[in-house]
Chain A
C-alpha cells in the first residue's frame, strides 16, 4: 500500500470518528419526580344581601322610627341610619382584609361639608366559624377569616347633621348623595 493511500485512510477514519459523535457529551445527570400535591387560591369578595333600610335615630325620636329620604328632610341635631347586610367571602391561609367605605362614593353639598358627619359600623352575624370583625380606626374594620367561607355582616352608615348657627345648610336638596355608596373590602398582609 503506498503512503498516499495510508494517509488518506487515516484522515478519513479520523473524520469518520468525529462525524460519528453526533450526540452531545455532558456530565452525568438524572431526575426524580416529586408529587407536591395541588395548590389552590383563596377568595376575597363582598356582596350586598337584601335591600337597605333607613331609621331615624335622632335624639328624642322613638326607637325604630323609620326615615324616608325621599319625603323627609334632616335638620341640625338629626341622625339617620342606613342599614345593609353584606356577605364577605374570605378564605386563605394568610388572608386578612380591611373593611370600610369609599369616601369618594359619597357626595356632600359644599354648604354642609363641615356639618355633616358620617359613621360606619360593622357587626358580624356570629357563628362558630365566622370571621372576626374588629374596629381599626375611624370607619374601618379588620376582617380575620374563620373556618366559614362566608360571613354575613350587618353594616350601618349613619348621617349626622351637627349643630350649626343661623340657617347654615338649610333647604339643600342633595345634602348627602348616597346613591353610589360603596362598601369596600381590601386585602392587607398579616
Chain B
C-alpha cells in the first residue's frame, strides 16, 4: 500500500515521514528552549539576613513665645499725652514660653513707626523683671534702660523654662532735657520679642 504524501514547493510530493520528522524536531527545540527559560527564572544571590528592632517613634518638640497670651500685642497704658520732661508711664507685660524647650527671650529691634516733633529722640525705655504685674511701678531698678530707638535686652535675655511665664515692667520716660519743640509730639513704635532655643 502506498503511503500518503504532501506536495512540495516544486510540486513534487514530499514523503509524510519527512514532514513528521521536521515537526518532531521543532517540538524538541521548543521543549529545550522552554526548559532553558524555566531554569533561569529564579534569582541567585549570596546569603543575607536581617534582625528587626522595634525602636519606637521619635517626635520633635516645639518653640513658642507669647506676650500677654498672644503673638502680637498692642501695649496699653503708654499714654504719652501724660508725659512731661522727667516723667514716665508704665505698663506690665507677661511673656510666656509656650513650647517644649527652654528659651532665652530678648526685646529688641525697636521700630519707630511714626514720630512727630522729634519726640522719639527724647524717649527712654526701661524693662525690669518683676514678680507680679502688680509690682510694676515707675522708678524700678535692676532692669535694662536705653533710648527708645536703640533699646535691646540682648545683653541680659530673660531665661525661661518650657511652660513658664515671666512678668516685665515696661517704663517709658521723657528726658528731663527734652526740647520744647517735642511737646505735642507723638511716636508709635514696635518692639520685637525674640525667643531663642536654649540648650541645657
Contact = CB atoms under 8 A, between A and B. Distances in A.
A183 B50 contact: yes
Contact of B46 (A61, A86, A105, A186): A186
A113 interface: no
Contact of A60 (B50, B57, B60, B199): B199
Nearest to A48: B51
Contact of B58 (A46, A102, A175, A180): A175
B51 A112 contact: no
Given A69-B57, A174-B59, A179-B57, A77 B199 contact: yes
A74 B49 contact: no
Interface in B66-92: none
Contact of A183 (B51, B59, B60): B51
A181 B52 contact: yes
A48 B55 CA distance: 12
A135 B29 CA distance: 53
| Majority DSSP secondary structure for residues of B touching A | loop
Given A60-B199, A181-B53, A183-B53, A44 B58 contact: no
B48 A169 contact: no
A73 B61 contact: yes
A181 B100 CA distance: 27
Contacts of A112: 60
A179 B55 contact: yes
A184 interface: yes
B58 A47 contact: no
Category for how many chain B residues contact A: 20 to 34
A172 B59 contact: yes
Category for how many chain A residues contact B: 35 or more
B199 to A, nearest CB: 5
Contact of A46 (B50, B57, B59, B62): B50
Interface in A18-43: none
Contact of B60 (A47, A48, A172): A172
A132 B47 CA distance: 19
Interface in B18-49: 46-49
B62 A170 contact: yes
Given A61-B200, A170-B63, A171-B62, A44 B49 contact: yes
Nearest to A49: B51
B60 A75 contact: yes
A169 B100 CA distance: 13
A58 interface: yes
Given A44-B49, A180-B54, 17 more contacts: A44-B47, A45-B49, A46-B51, A47-B51, A58-B199, A73-B61, A73-B100, A75-B197, A77-B199, A82-B53, A170-B99, A176-B58, A178-B55, A179-B55, A181-B53, A182-B52, A186-B47
